[in-house]
Amino acid sequence: MKLQTESLKKEMIAWRHEFHKYPELGFQEVRTSKLIAELLRSFGLKVYEKFGKTGVVGHLERNKAKKLIAIRADIDALPIEEKTSLSYQSQRNGTMHACGHDGHTATLLGAAKYLSQDKSFDGNILFIFQPDEENGGGAKAMIEDNLFKKFSVSEVYALHNMPGMPVGYFATRENTITASENSFEIEVISKGGHSALPNMGGDAIQIASQIVNSLQTIVSRKIDPRKKAVLSITEFITNGKKNILASKVVLKGDTRCLDDDTKAIIESELRRICQSITAASDASCVVKFETNVPITYNSKAPTQNLTKCVIDTFGKKNIESNCAPMLFSEDFSFLASQVPGCFVLIGNGSNGPNAEPLHSPKFDFNDEILTLGSCLWVNLAKMISKH
């Protein structure tokens, strides 16, 4: 089914470029939210602003008797300095849409406009524009703002672009689709001292360095190699100076995994290693470990619905319906823990800035997949409304 007109495609591209040019960080998406709300109103939707601080919700209710489904797009940007030289490059220093949320938003707006103008659509759909996905706070904020109490949502859906995956290709799976994100902070406390007299003092840097190296053995030696997991130290902060041995080091990082048993092993081993190494060095440590974003689980019924829709719309060859789980995290997990949900990946392309890694300063969302994503949402809404 040919869905999008050339004029709507041009509009989606224009919206996407506008969002890209003026990116906003999590819970700061004031300009972005205002534009989304204005567009939704112009489509004739009932609009709810400041939902979860800076979130926006649009409701298209053609038939109250039909079950209400929700589709979510994330709207926040990242604290990254853009290096693309695009005509619509970010105009805000140190902030850019390096994850494609500008494209996700424009895609959902396109679906909202099309369905609002389609007189044959006889369904009930909620368009969720969610803030602060990158920090894992936006979905929680919308839930705490009674999103699912105000709206009796039956199923919730979301997509994310995937660099390196061919344009026109989709991937999803039942059960675990993305990993949990667990952050940790390790404070190593030692005696410190003069750099010329190390025998009289202590060296927190040397102790922390042992910890950094030893933590890498958790995944390689304590986790079943058939399971996916990663642990990364991302910050190493000391109070040492040129001639002063550090008395304190703070290590920060995160770990990703795909099941709770693996997470429990990682946390237990992390604490054991830190305590053992510091005790052997006559030092001490304080370890904090917390789950920021839980594992995203795709429920059976919505995943089957979405898979069928992709096959009917684009053909069976254009979807991997049992893809490998991804080790990035998604705060869509909070929404999918409240009602049955499905998260799907859409290919962003294999060349140029479209194939740059997510969160790269050279990344750009592929305008060619705007119509593909929008078409998926429109056809999914129509398919579900018939039942």
What confidence tens digit (pLDDT) does each residue in 88-137 have? 999 999 999 999 999 999 999 999 999 999 999 999 999 999 999 999 99
Number of domains in the chain: 2
Strands 180-189 and 153-163: unpaired
Secondary structure (DSSP) of 355-372? GSPTT-TT----GGGHHH
Secondary structure (DSSP) of 36-70? HHHHHHHTT-EEEEEETTTEEEEEEES-TTSPEEE
pLDDT band with cut points at 50, 70 and 90 for residue 346: very high
pLDDT (tens digit, 9 = 90+) per residue, 161-197? 999 999 999 999 999 999 999 999 999 999 999 999 9
**pLDDT for residue 387:** 78
Report how far residue 89's alpha carbon sits from residue 103's, in angstroms, rounded to the nearest whole number.
14
**pLDDT for residue 18:** 98
Residue 279 has pLDDT above 80, yes or no: yes
Read off the CATH number of the domain in which 241 is found. 3.30.70.360
Burial of 85-110, coded b for 16+ CB within 10 Å and e otherwise, reads: eeebebeeeebbbbbbbbbbbbbbbb
Specify whether 269 is located in the same domain as 153.
no
Share of the chain above pLDDT 70, in %: 99
Which tokens belong to 332? Answer: 């869509």
**pLDDT for residue 352:** 85
pLDDT band with cut points at 50, 70 and 90 for residue 4: low
Residue 316 has pLDDT above 80, yes or no: yes
pLDDT band with cut points at 50, 70 and 90 for residue 3: very low
**pLDDT for residue 5:** 75
- Which DSSP state fits 257? E
Burial class (CB in 10 A: 0-12, 13-18, 19+), 189: middle
Burial of 301-332, coded b for 16+ CB within 10 Å and e otherwise, reads: ebbebbbebbeebbeeebbebebebbbbbbbb
**Average pLDDT of span 35-54:** 98
Specify whether 131 is located in the same domain as 190.
no
pLDDT band with cut points at 50, 70 and 90 for residue 353: confident
Specify whether 215 is located in the same domain as 303.
no
Specify whether 164 is located in the same domain as 289.
no
31 within 8 A of 24, measured Cβ to Cβ: yes
Query: If we measure between CA atoms, which residue out of 189, 209, 212 comes closest to residue 201?
Result: 189
Asked if the structure places residue 134 within a domain, the reply is yes
Secondary structure (DSSP) of 278-330? HHHTT-EEEEEEEEEEPPEEE-HHHHHHHHHHHHHHH-GGGEETTPPPBSS--
Q: Which residues are catalytic?
A: 76, 133
Residue 141 has pLDDT above 90, yes or no: yes
pLDDT (tens digit, 9 = 90+) per residue, 204-219? 999 999 999 999 999 9
Asked if the structure places residue 98 within a domain, the reply is yes
What is the pLDDT of the chain when averaged over all its residues? 96
Asked if the structure places residue 225 within a domain, the reply is yes
Burial class (CB in 10 A: 0-12, 13-18, 19+), 250: middle
Specify whether 172 is located in the same domain as 186.
no
Q: What is the dihedral of CA 97, 98, 100, 101, to 10 degrees?
A: -50
Read off the CATH number of the domain in which 48 is found. 3.40.630.10
**Domain termination residue (choose one: 293, 313, 331):** 293
pLDDT band with cut points at 50, 70 and 90 for residue 249: very high
Report how far residue 166's alpha carbon sits from residue 331's, in angstroms, rounded to the nearest whole number.
25
Specify whether 238 is located in the same domain as 339.
no
Specify whether 155 is located in the same domain as 219.
no
Say if pTM beats, i.e. exceeds, 0.85.
yes
Residue numbers of the domain that contains 235? 180-293
Per the listing, tokens 């994330």 go with: 74
Asked if the structure places residue 319 within a domain, the reply is yes
Share of the chain above pLDDT 90, in %: 96
Specify whether 215 is located in the same domain as 173.
no
**Domain termination residue (choose one: 268, 293, 318):** 293
Burial class (CB in 10 A: 0-12, 13-18, 19+), 199: exposed
Specify whether 159 is located in the same domain as 248.
no
**Domain termination residue (choose one: 293, 310, 334):** 293
Report how far residue 313's alpha carbon sits from residue 47's, in angstroms, rounded to the nearest whole number.
29
Specify whether 94 is located in the same domain as 168.
yes
